[in-house]
């Protein structure tokens, strides 16, 4: 029988591997761009290393801004309003329970006025964290289900998922920045420079190869970045599900909540492409399907079956699988 400790270990390894892949791709892409730009100067390697350093510096500056102000932007764009214990006593009580179970400070609590049930956690670390839930979640979940959802979100805080996804997001942003720069450079300056290189150095063949490789990597990087970011997000959702069971000692609450979330037809109005991966279920999935590769969350059926494995229960029956799969 699979334990939630095994789930946590496996997902941490997979997420770290995905992050390393992003870093490797960034390094290779940056070097190819710099080498291509410096081709024919006699200092191609220096150009390559320099381009990589510049990309990392820019990515680091972007990361610092996101690190200290990203959560405020997310909450503001989601129209989340902070509430007190008097305004939402049950919500505050359950959040406090999960914070104690996780051994983290009590996060700030926000409510989004929206009938679609959903929730997310944000912040750079447990000492600077927030949990936001919709009014629809409070209205449609019983206490046991609410504990499962908030245990999931508290796990994101305890496991430093927000910081981890921020790191990956910064790396992806750096790749996109490099790709955009290289495409513009090639468009405006590439043709003339390659012509001079061909005439003076007779290196037309290698120049063309470098140009093609750089262009291909620039185009592929956009798709690669999205795939890696979404794959990381899916792995962290599995980990948070397993960690929620550790905190609540009750997989049935989260299992029931996930089934309700998948079945609900309300659309969340304040979500966008930059924040969809933060929620416990992707609210944009309700607007249309799409390939599993481009999904920020694992299928609900898979998540429920993994929860059932933790207690040795049988997987969902075919009728339930068909129903929930059709609702996502």
Which residue in the list 7, 145, 153, 246 is annotated as catalytic? 153
Q: How far apart are CA 95 and CA 56, in angstroms?
A: 38
Distance (Å, rounded) from C-alpha 140 to C-alpha 260? 8
Rounded to a whole number of angstroms, the distance between the first and last alpha carbons of the chain is: 28
Q: Is 153 a catalytic residue?
A: yes
Comparing CA positions, the residue from 295, 287, 294, 286 lying closest to residue 328 is: 286
Length of the chain: 328
Q: How far apart are CA 175 and CA 181, in angstroms?
A: 10
- Per residue, the 3-state secondary structure of 226-265, as one string, reads HHHHHHHHHHHHHHHHHHHHHHHCCHHHHHHHHHHHHHCC
131: which strand partners?
Answer: 109, 121
Measured CA to CA in angstroms, residue 104 lies from 15, 121, 156 at distances of 22, 13, 11
- Pairing state between β 128-134 and 108-112: parallel
Q: Which residues are catalytic?
A: 153
């Amino acid at each position: 029988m699979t334990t939630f400790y095994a789930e946590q270990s496996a997902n941490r390894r997979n997420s770290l591997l995905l992050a390393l892949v992003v870093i490797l791709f960034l390094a290779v892409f940056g070097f190819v761009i710099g080498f291509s730009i410096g081709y024919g100067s006699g200092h191609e390697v220096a150009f390559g290393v320099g381009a990589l350093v510049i990309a990392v510096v820019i990515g680091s500056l972007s990361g610092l801004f996101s690190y200290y102000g990203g959560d405020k932007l997310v909450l503001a764009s989601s129209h989340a309003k902070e509430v007190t214990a008097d305004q939402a006593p049950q919500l505050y009580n359950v959040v406090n329970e999960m914070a104690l179970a996780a051994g983290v400070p009590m996060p700030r609590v926000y409510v989004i006025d929206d009938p679609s049930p959903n929730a997310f956690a944000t912040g750079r670390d447990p000492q600077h964290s927030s949990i936001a839930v919709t009014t629809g979640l409070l209205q449609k979940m019983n206490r046991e289900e609410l504990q499962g959802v908030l245990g999931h979100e508290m796990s994101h805080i305890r496991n430093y998922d927000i910081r981890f996804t921020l790191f990956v997001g910064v790396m992806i942003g750096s790749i996109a920045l490099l790709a955009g720069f290289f495409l513009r450079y090639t468009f405006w300056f590439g043709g003339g420079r390659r012509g001079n290189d061909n005439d003076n150095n007779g290196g037309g063949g290698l120049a063309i190869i470098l140009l093609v490789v750089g262009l291909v990597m620039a185009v592929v990087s956009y798709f690669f970045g999205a795939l890696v970011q979404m794959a990381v997000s899916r792995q962290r959702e599995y980990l948070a599900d397993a960690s929620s069971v550790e905190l609540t000692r009750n997989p049935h609450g989260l299992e029931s909540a996930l089934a309700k979330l998948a079945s609900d037809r309300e659309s969340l109005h304040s979500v966008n492409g930059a924040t969809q991966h933060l929620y416990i279920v992707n609210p944009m999935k309700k607007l249309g399907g799409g390939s599993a590769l481009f999904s920020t969350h694992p299928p609900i059926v898979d998540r429920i079956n993994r929860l059932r494995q933790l207690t040795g229960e049988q997987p969902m029956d075919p009728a339930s699988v068909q129903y929930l799969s059709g609702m996502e």
